[in-house]
Amino acid sequence: MPSPLLKRPSKRWREGALTLLVSAISWSMLVVLVGVIGFLVYQGGKVLSWEFLTTPMQEGMQAGGIAPPLVGSLWVSTLALLIGAILGTATGAYLSEFSSKGHLHHLIELLVNTLAGIPSIVYGLFGMALFVVVLGFGASILSGALTLSLLSLPILIRNAQEAFSSISTDLKLASLGMGASPVQTFWRITLRLAFPRLITGYVLAMGRLLGETAPILFTVAAYYLPAYPHSPLEPTMMLPYHLYALITSGTNITQTYPMAFGTALVLVSITLLLTVAAAILRFRLKKHLHV
């Protein structure tokens, strides 16, 4: 029998119950994730093969692979990420490191928040009006990538802002105290140390961009174009839209159904791979930086 000082109070069961509840919920999340992927594998796993990934569609879209939309998706998302990362990181750097927190700062913050709340189909519409029509890029990889990069901007700006402001002020001041200019301090300390976090943000944004459908509908995605693009001014097929086409437009659903799930599985796998790659890269970079 423990002494009264050490005796477990009877209310302690609440703590146990709460811990149990919270862990049960997080485990069920894992079950959901595994369930989704398991379902995709079950439905689409049988069509997966090297040929599926590397050959074009055949017999309309009822046979063959998904190489053109796969290549198209990678093209558009990579280009979109490149544009978005440059603009987003620069804006994030301004907001976090260089702005004097005046009116312009608050205006940009407001715009970023608004941008984040706009439905993706509206981006699609805007992209079509501006890039496709007014700027005359036509339905093309460039138009699609520009539209997607706009969509990725709020995420990338926030990501950069948080990455930069997470770097300790003491280190930034130490650098300034050494006689580094604010710009030198940004390049040599802030950007360098924030790099692992930036990269993670880029990769997660890429995963998000790969799956976007609405913004590419009117700006780049071709319904059926079994060829590989030769220039950024050409349209291309893309995975999300191809998936939509496979499910909704086929006449031979028994044949296209597994192909649709195979396509979905490829999309999800790329995102998963990117996430894992980001984690590894971040780990490596951190080790390299001694942080």
E-assigned strand segments in 44-198: 57-58, 63-64
Residue type, 241: Y
Q: Which string of DSSP letters, residue by residue, matches 29-41?
A: HHHHHHHHHHHHH
Pick one of 178, 227, 273, 277: the residue that binds other proteins (CB under 8 A).
178
- Minimum CB separation of residue 101 from other proteins in Å reads 8
Q: What is the footprint of other proteins within residues 199-258 (CB under 8 A)?
A: none
179 part of the interface to other proteins, by CB under 8 A = yes
String of contacts with other proteins for each residue 112-151, x by CB under 8 A: ----------------------------------------
Q: Which stretch binds other proteins (CB under 8 A): 138-146, 177-185, 219-227, 239-247?
A: 177-185
Residue type, 57: M
193 part of the interface to other proteins, by CB under 8 A = yes
Angle between helix 239-249 and 253-289 (nearest 10): 160
8 part of the interface to other proteins, by CB under 8 A = no
Asked if 76 and 242 count as a contact pair (C-beta separation under 8 A), the reply is no
User: Token digits for 267?
Assistant: 């999309």
Q: How far apart are CA 33 and CA 108, in angstroms?
A: 36
Question: Please, what is the Cα angle at 161 between 159 and 165, to 5 degrees?
Answer: 120
- Minimum CB separation of residue 182 from other proteins in Å reads 8
2 part of the interface to other proteins, by CB under 8 A = no
The footprint of other proteins (CB under 8 A) covers 100, 168, 170-171, 173-181, 184, 188-189, 193, 289-291
